[in-house]
Amino acid sequence: MDKELIIRGVRRASMGRFLLWLVPWAALLAFGVYAAGLCLYKGLGETNMDNRFAFGLWIFLDLSVIALGAGAFFTGFLFYILKKKELKAVINSAVVIGFVCYSGAVVVLAVDVGQPLRAWFTFWHPNVHSMLTEVTFCITCYLGVLAVEYVPILLKNRKLREVPRFLVFEWELHRLMYVLAAVGTFLSFFHQGSLGGLYGVLQGRPFAFREGFALWPSTFFLFILSAMAVGPSFMVLTTSLVQKITRKALVKPEVMQEMGRISGILLIVYVLAKTVDTLVWINSTSPSLGFPAHRFYASGPFGTWILFAEIVLFGLVPALILLSRDRRARMPWLISAASLACCGIVLNRFVMTIQTQAVPSLPFLPFVTYTPNWQEVGTFLAVVAYGVLVYSISFRYLPLFPQEKDLAR
Partner 1 sequence: MAAKTKARYGMSIDVDRCTGCGACMVACAVENNIPPAPEGATDRKGITWIRVYKIDNGLPFPQNRSAWVPVLCQQCGEHTPCVSVCPQNAVEVDKTTGVVGQIPERCLGCRYCMAACPYQARYFNWWDPVWPAGMEKTLNPTVSPRMRGVVEKCNFCHGRLHEARAKAAAAGRREIDPADYVPACVEACPAQAITFGDLDDRNSQVARESREGSAFHLLERLHTGPKITYRSGRPWVHDALEIKVANNKKEPVRG
Partner 2 sequence: MLPNVYGFQWSAGHLIFLGAFFVVGTIIAITLAMALVRSLRDKGHKVETIRWKSEFGDLPERDRACRHQFDGRLPGRVCGNGFDCRLCAKHAEIAPGTAAAEPKERYHHRGHTWAQPQPDGTVLVGLDDLATSLTGTPERLDLPAPGTRVQVNGTAWRMERNGASARVLSPVDGKVVETGDSGRGWYLKIRPDNVDFRHLLRGREARAWLQREMDRMGALLPAPAVVGPTMADGGELVEDAAKAMPEADWDAVWGGLFLQP
Partner 3 sequence: MKLARRDLLKLAGGAALGTFFTPAPWKALDDVSIWTQNWSWMPVPPRGEATTRFTTCTLCPAGCPVRARCIGKQPVSLAGVGGGLCPAGLAGHHLPHYPGRVRGASHRGTRCTMDAAVAAVREVAKGGRVAILDQRPGRTASLVYRRWLAGQEGGLYLTPPAREDATLVALGGGLAFNLDEARTVVSFGAPLMEGWGSMARVLESRPKFHLVQIEARQSRTASMADTWLPAKPGTEAALALGLAHLLGSQDAGRFTPEYVERITGVPAAQVRQVARRMKDAGPAVVIGGGDPAGPFNREEEQAIAGLNLLAGAMGRTIVPRAEVPVPAGFDKLAAETALDDVPDGGIRLLIIDEAASGNPVPWSYLKRKLAPGAMVAAAACSLDGYASHADYVLPAPVYMETAQDVPAACDSPAATFSMAPGLLAPPEETIEPADFVLRVAGEGGTLAELLKARVEAIHKTRRGSVVTYADGTATPLAEMASADDLAKAFKAGARWTDAGTSSEAPGIAFAAVDAAAIERRAASAQFPLALVPFGWRGAAGPVSPIFSKLYQESRVRSSEGEARLNPATAREYGILDGGLMVVETSCGSQAMTACLDEGVMPGVIEAAIEPGTGVLEICDVEDWCGWRTAPARMRRA
Give me the residues that bind partner 2 (CB under 8 A), please: 3, 7-9, 123-129, 133-134, 137, 141, 144-145, 148, 156, 161, 164-165, 167-173, 175-176, 179-180, 183, 186-187, 399, 402, 405-406, 409
Does 37 contact partner 1 by CB under 8 A? no
Least gap, CB of 390 to partner 3 (angstroms): 24
Question: What does the alpha-carbon distance between residue 53 and residue 38 come to, in Å, rounded to a whole number?
Answer: 20
For residue 170, give Cα distances in angstroms to 141, 149, 162, 268. Answer: 21, 10, 12, 39
Q: For strands 212-213 and 216-217, give the pairing.
A: antiparallel
Build a one-symbol-per-residue string for 40-79: x at contacts with partner 1 by CB under 8 A, - elsewhere. --xxxx---xxxxxxx------------------------
Question: What does the alpha-carbon distance between residue 236 and residue 288 come to, in Å, rounded to a whole number?
Answer: 42
Selected binder of partner 3 within 115, 125, 204, 409 (CB under 8 A) = 115
Strand, helix or coil for residue 305: helix
Least gap, CB of 51 to partner 1 (angstroms): 6
Does 41 contact partner 3 by CB under 8 A? no
Least gap, CB of 119 to partner 2 (angstroms): 14
Build a one-symbol-per-residue string for 352-371: x at contacts with partner 1 by CB under 8 A, - elsewhere. ----xx---xxxxx--x---
Nearer to partner 1, 36 or 225 (CB): 36
Q: Is 158:101 a contact under the CB 8 Å cutoff?
A: no
**What are phi and psi for residue 19, nearest 5 degrees?**
-60, -45
Q: DSSP string of 220-281?
A: HHHHHHHHHHHHHHHHHHHHHHHHHHHT---S-HHHHHHHHHHHHHHHHHHHHHHHHHHHHI
Least gap, CB of 350 to partner 1 (angstroms): 15
Selected binder of partner 3 within 24, 110, 121, 211 (CB under 8 A) = 121
Burial of 4 (0-12, 13-18, 19+ CB in 10 A): exposed
Strand, helix or coil for residue 150: helix
Does 115 contact partner 1 by CB under 8 A? yes
Selected binder of partner 3 within 17, 42, 118, 294 (CB under 8 A) = 118
Nearer to partner 3, 116 or 292 (CB): 116
Least gap, CB of 1 to partner 2 (angstroms): 11
Q: Could you tell me which residues come within 8 angstroms of residue 73 by beta carbon, excluding any fewer than 6 positions away?
A: 98, 142, 181, 184, 185, 187, 188, 231
**What are phi and psi for residue 213, nearest 5 degrees?**
-110, 135
Selected binder of partner 3 within 16, 41, 83, 120 (CB under 8 A) = 120
Query: Which residue ranges make up the site for partner 3 (CB under 8 A)?
Result: 115, 117-118, 120-121
